[in-house]
Structure 1
């Protein structure tokens, strides 16, 4: 073995010593050298009456802060070697001063007992930077101290030749990149091996399960899987018990599952219990034990075991009741179908008889009888069958299915807050029947109490086969400004509310819907901040996908139609609250514009015949304007102004406010109503409590009141003449000073029906109410008006009967 020269050993020791000293310099002295606790800093309990010296409080705080700042400064921190060198140099002087220090110890002990004196001494005495507490630096000097610290660390690293962490050359950089790529490849290999191990474990588990499913029972044991090596681990313990693991699940589920019919299940359970009772005790207990385990497995897998006799008996009884109820409903349905078929057959027979009669009359040269038609009376009380009340479909819209028109609108019977969205049906646009409510009041949410639900409109989506309902949804202060959407499988059935939103993030209040001839649907929405908008709906009609056009004008209650010439007309109302105004229209050959300037379509100053646009209904090539005449202080009594709307080229006009007019829903023909015979109430026959009363606004300055009531007042018109021998419309001028509707019984030629009378402006200005009846040709008709259910009918001014 060669002998190392002494100078090499010396050089090696010096290098090691230097490295060790460099490491010691990195360790703060207070963590390496023991701190001596001098006795003179310890007080005693007997030094309570010493004279106290109180250091100024502010000076102490400033000294503390300065000490903390200095503490973090690397220039003020001595290394371990520096402290050791100072200690070695002071060792001799320390022994010579030991006696002197001992003399002063007693005095220092006496002074150090008092905490205030200690504070004063600390504030006056000079402190060594390595042993005294150092103050934290101020916020503005932290960056400076940090820079000094990093500089000191770098200098120490250079002294000991430590690596700086940065590649010194291009080769080192490439080597570092190769090393990182190697680590990444190794990590991926480990992940691949881990995945393969998991797959193998899964296959093995599946194989074991299949073996158990074949009926191989294993002894109960705790199976703990091998620990998985790699990056991922789960906190859950993967423990299975083979004796209670799901084995043969499908077979046992089939064995113990009962039939769906509770009566059959109860019979099956009783039969099983009887068989068990006949077995020996030991065998029966074994079977019952096994059954309990297998039932538990079925329940654990989400299955149901019907083994409770009491519950099965209740279920069987409930099933029997449902079956009986279903039978009654089915029998009732068969009766209704039979009645409908009989009615259709009767109508067919009547039509055949009428056709044969007309043919015979034509052969004999007899002219056909003049027939009056049913009439639309704008702003009259319009009574619907099914409720016997004024129609509550305000702000609504129309949709036609087959030969039937459906009218959907707001129910304002009990105020302005949401109550329901109602639906009515008619085949002639005059006689309306209440079908039901699409949406009703809910306990909370958009359809809850004190909510605003307005302007409902319905369109049909042929792709989804759903009827889609849009409406204005708002808070009571109109601050939300959203649209709501609901869907239903039938036009007048119950709808499912799907929620509300602001279309494309914009406000929306009074709104409408339009379905173009190509099936594309559009939302017409009033955005008060930006203007009137046309927004395109999605293919399912449930959401808004894009804006098509926006007017700068701030208009509301929009309605769009398309003429036979391919011209689009947008009708809208100006913003005047509940008060009416001259509504406007604009035209274009494309919904995306350009659109024409706005113009009025009713005579200027007529305020659109005192109404606001809500819908425009096409009838053949003609159109009906449908508007609301609002009474804001009692919205229930708001009426409907329907009038013929003339479309010619790019011009729309509604020049005449008809008292009554007729429409043929088959041809679309429209025209003024027939002439009328007037019968004054005070000239008719009065009975019971009915009396004549003065009325300054009535036609004969008189009216008849106290009709109905406890006195059973009756007003009878005899010898009512007409040339018509068909169903027609009677107008009744009435007075109702109440805030609610009154009801009366109208009997025409022995046929009675109920009619509603809306409140009128005052007790001297009559309003109109209509009733649709069958009249005989000639002057033998009798019309009587009485009360309804013991209440008073409205006071009557006169009766108006079509002449022909």
Structure 2
């Protein structure tokens, strides 16, 4: 028994050594670059070879160098060699400086606080009011209050000074204006104090409201505004009315004598000229008025046709909706009638035949149960119980 127990571990160890050697040999065949992470610098160099712009020759040269480096057996090192090189080039650890004691740290903190207090006192203009240590806290607060009070006093003095300066400027301006007014009054001479001041003279003189016509010709004189209305031409916007008015005017002129007709034509000519000069439109062309009347009549006919078409469409749609409503009502009434007729037929059928299985003798009572089911609802078996 003891011999067998000693031989089994030896065989096991030998087999483990063989397996270890085989696995180590297989792993050595795998390049280390596939399972060992590269350093950041090496990774950047690998993927950023063509980062900068290069010429064709430079690209070819760099590709050739990278290919040679890849196929160089010196670069294809095993894992053991890489680990051995890394362990040999490990940097030496430098010891940390000794930590300072609590008393030194407190002293350093106190020095920084004193430094801040001195700087704050120097900025405020009162560096002598601050002192180091805990005993100077009350004096520090008192000096701060005094400093704030002094700043408030200075701001108040500045406001008063600015206010006085503005008042002085306004007083000087007023005095200068008074002096200028006195000089102007002295140049104009003595004036009546009780007289009312004159109105301000406009740059452009104001014309009178009603100014008579001053334009005249040797043989013709424009009619004055006092002799008649400004424009004697009658304005008519409707072309059909304007055409009728023009025809009536021509008929009246044709009925007048020669001299009166000429005078009337002259007056009408002047009225039309004044109307055109004032920016109005003169409808005195018979052809233009007739064309306008035709256009208006065509527009009326077109709108009338559209209106009749619209009325016809509305009537048609209303008839369709009424017919649809009547059909729906008739259908609803027919459905109600059919429903009632179907319900009565079901009642008759149930009274004669009864429920399913009633006549088969499967229920209680046999055939008598089927005969009882033909009575009124709610009275089944009423007589049998008595």
Q: TM-score, normalised by structure 1?
A: 0.18
Q: Which has the higher contact order (CA 8 A, sep 6+)?
A: 1
Which structure is higher in helix share? 2
Q: Which has the larger radius of gyration?
A: 2
